[in-house]
Chain A
């Protein structure tokens, strides 16, 4: 078939490959318009940077890995071995731990701010075992003598000093066993 004829047919095809849309369909879509349209903040996180730059999946994966390595180096894993960094990447790629690396980094910043404010804060983040959900990432003393504890599953609890000692000894036992 000649190219001109093909183009002629192609131009006729929209008419053939058309059909009426179900009545009420437009209303269904309109019902889903959010009450407040919010602007997507460009470049606020790694994923959005990748979306905005429109780079390929392979380049995106490479960018994520490089970001993790840089974050790991910057936020306290300077002395860690390559194996640990690779483990952190594996956690990230496994999806289960996705976002936690970023949370740890944020937590460290918060911790530093609290120290500057004169609060008694202890931060284990860099050495914490993320696989153990009872692992304490960070705690600080409250005015009533109790402690506010953030665990590795990012849950938060207020505990007494006795309970904190128990938790810490549990952490030590777990580490020794490993």
Chain B
């Protein structure tokens, strides 16, 4: 059955290559179909689909944890815990459209439980990112970097819910619908949190 699924997937990839060459606009549709196919295979218990899910998301989830304020080691542990929870709750995955929201929601819950366990023992991590060198010229670089650093610090100081909102939408680049689903709130609530977060950030940076 697994072999059959692989074969179908390979056929699907080949069809996509031909389609994209003929019509690049179909790429979005292809991505949607690929996510649907992955979700369906996960739900059918296909282990190779689980491997693909890890390949697709491990870096995103790790960075999500880092951006939420966890240090290197914690982020690795929490990423692994998120995937373990994902395997356990695979039945809650409905379709490909919900894949992002589903996995990010699990990761968000794992992070939240971690903070709750650490409550009173630890504050938000200030471990810095291993930032790559910027290509901007020296004059603008200093001002630009300073603004970014202030913004980074301001995000770290946001209350958890607002921080998660900003991270999901701006840093993880999730669409509003997906980000709201990941945060476990309605889209309206998410928008209102986002606007509140931006207001606080503007105030704290000035």
Contact = CB atoms under 8 A, between A and B. Distances in A.
B27 to A, nearest CB: 21
Interface residues on B, range: 35 or more
A91 B200 CA distance: 45
A34 B63 CA distance: 24
B63 A32 contact: no
B131 A33 contact: no
B19 interface: no
Interface stretch (B3-11, B32-40, B118-126, B145-153): B145-153
Nearest to B105: A54
Contacts of A117: none
A32 B83 contact: yes
Contacts of A22: 72, 76
A94 interface: no
A52 B92 CA distance: 8
A28 B171 contact: no
Contact of B45 (A11, A19, A29, A37): A37
A30 B86 CA distance: 12
Contacts of A19: 63, 66, 129-131
Contact of B55 (A7, A26, A36): A26
Interface in B151-189: 151-152, 155, 166, 170-173, 184
A13 to B, nearest CB: 6
A28 B201 contact: no
Nearest to B83: A29
A131 interface: no
A92 to B, nearest CB: 21
Nearest to A42: B91
B206 interface: yes
B50 A39 contact: no
B184 A30 contact: no
B148 A12 contact: yes
Interface string A1-39: 101001101111111111111100110111011111111
A40 interface: yes
Contacts of B173: 14
A178 to B, nearest CB: 39
B110 interface: no
Given A17-B129, A37-B87, A41-B91, A30 B54 contact: yes
A54 B184 contact: yes
A71 B9 CA distance: 49
A4 to B, nearest CB: 11
B62 interface: yes
A129 to B, nearest CB: 35
Contacts of A54: 184
B84 interface: yes
A37 B51 CA distance: 12
Given A29-B58, A37-B46, A6 B205 contact: yes
Given A14-B173, A38-B45, A39-B90, 6 more contacts: A6-B151, A11-B170, A29-B83, A32-B80, A33-B51, A51-B92
Interface of A: 1, 3, 6-7, 9-22, 25-26, 28-30, 32-42, 51-52, 54
Query: Which 8 A-B residue pairings sit nearest by Cβ, starting from the closest?
Result: A40-B91, A39-B91, A10-B170, A19-B130, A37-B45, A33-B50, A19-B129, A14-B171
